[in-house]
Structure 1
Amino acid sequence: MLRPRHPKTVWNNDTQGGFTAVELMVTVTILAILAALAVPSFTPLIERWRMRQITEELQSTLYLARAEAIKRGGNITIVRTLGDSGCSDISASPALWDCGWQVLFTTPGTTPGTPTTTNLQRASAPSRTHIQLRDGQGRGIDTSTPISIDRWGQITLGSNTSFDFLIYPSSSSSTNTTKLCVLASGRIKRLDIGSDPCT
């Protein structure tokens, strides 16, 4: 019985796979155009994420400070961090907390008149954001007076029993502005729209 003969496969060594230089240039150009169109649309999303991150971190700081004050019998303060190597100098704007903040516990110390301060938490703010501490009427507060928490967990700022943090991007986009309110009742309230009243 004769077997059918199969044709031999002939490989052409002259055929090479891959892209030509023109095809590669066209592909790169199209990708660059798509990236240029997509990046601006992500900016508001990134800004909203930054504002939410700061607001949640400030809120958790206030809860931590309150818990520590109740546990340690008061003497807890929250102060802003002044300009350091990673942040621009904000000394000219005493209401801004752009460089971050610290939670401090102060004890009388072993020597009279020389209190001992323990840093319980240090937080930094993301770049390209602003954090402004304001009184109940929306005016910036000089933060030479720290936020104090007593042994009962009551949060005060000097004579102000209510105040807020206004958190906004450096691009001044009001749509991404958020607010963290500290009310006289002790309630901490987050508002996604910075223009809403704290009450």
Structure 2
Amino acid sequence: MRGFTAIELMVTVAILAVLASLAAPSFTPVIERWRVRSAVEGLQSTIYYARSEAIKRGGGVVIQKNPNTAQCTTSANQEWDCGWFVCEDVNNDGVCNATEPVLQRFDTPSQVNVTRTSGGATIILNRWGLVDGAWLGFSLVPFNKSTSDLAARGVCMSIGGRLRVIPPQDIPCSASNS
């Protein structure tokens, strides 16, 4: 008869388990970079979408952070960790009310801290697709890490509406890197 004995199979599985447990921690930075990159791309996509909707609708578009839920809680208006959504601000009060149509929603990947550098819980876009109020700056960082972490990124929007993704050493956004 040909084949493996139970002992040979158990030794092979044990060796694979040891190798996998040694390799797993080295994947953590890769996973953190992927999560931050996913959040950065989602934020950029949302801003581009909201800008185009604001131009199309003649203003009246707001990007707002998601409210706290049982799964995600933030304590400050600058913390956008739970994600965000775009709505049509029908009554032009600068916030998304429950009766106003939601145009797009983005839930941030888990284990990513998203902090708005200036401003609060909403971003109002005018009829030209530009931010009405404080300029945009976001820091996206792996959970419990600082902005100096290699996976961290910043998303900056210039006064003219150009978006840039900046590396950790340039966080937070300033007039020179917007």
How many residue pairs get matched?
167
What is the deviation of 1:171?
A: 4.1
**5+ unaligned residues in a row in structure 2: which ranges?**
none
CA distance in 1, matches of 2:126, 2:140: 26
Correspondence for 2:160 = 185
CA distance in 2, matches of 1:63, 1:142: 19
Correspondence for 2:67 = 82
Correspondence for 2:89 = 106
1:132 and 2:115 aligned: yes
Correspondence for 1:121 = 104
CA distance in 2, matches of 1:75, 1:17: 74
Q: Residue type of the partner of 1:150?
A: N
1:165 and 2:143 aligned: no
Structure 2 counterpart of 1:195, from 148, 169, 176: 169
CA distance in 2, matches of 1:176, 1:123: 20
What is the deviation of 1:30?
A: 0.6
Q: Residue type of the partner of 1:78?
A: I
Change (3 A) 1:52 1:62: same
SS at match of 2:55: helix
SS at match of 1:78: strand
Q: Residue type of the partner of 2:127?
A: R
Q: Residue type of the partner of 2:72?
A: S
Identity %: 41
Q: What is the RMSD computed on CA atoms of the aligned residues?
A: 2.1
Q: Which is higher, the Rg of structure 1 or of structure 2?
A: 1
CA distance in 2, matches of 1:116, 1:128: 31
Q: What is the TM-score with the length of structure 2 in the denominator? A: 0.86
**5+ unaligned residues in a row in structure 1: which ranges?**
1-15, 136-140
SS at match of 1:98: coil
Correspondence for 1:42 = 27
1:154 and 2:130 aligned: yes
CA distance in 2, matches of 1:31, 1:116: 55
CA distance in 2, matches of 1:54, 1:64: 15
Correspondence for 2:46 = 61
Q: Structure 1 runs of 4+ off > 3 angstroms?
A: none
- Residues 107 and 116 in structure 1, CA contact (< 8 A), matched pair in contact too: no
- Residues 75 and 150 in structure 1, CA contact (< 8 A), matched pair in contact too: yes
Q: What is the TM-score with the length of structure 1 in the denominator? A: 0.77
CA distance in 2, matches of 1:166, 1:48: 14
CA distance in 2, matches of 1:48, 1:100: 18
1:142 and 2:120 aligned: yes
What is the deviation of 1:21?
A: 2.3
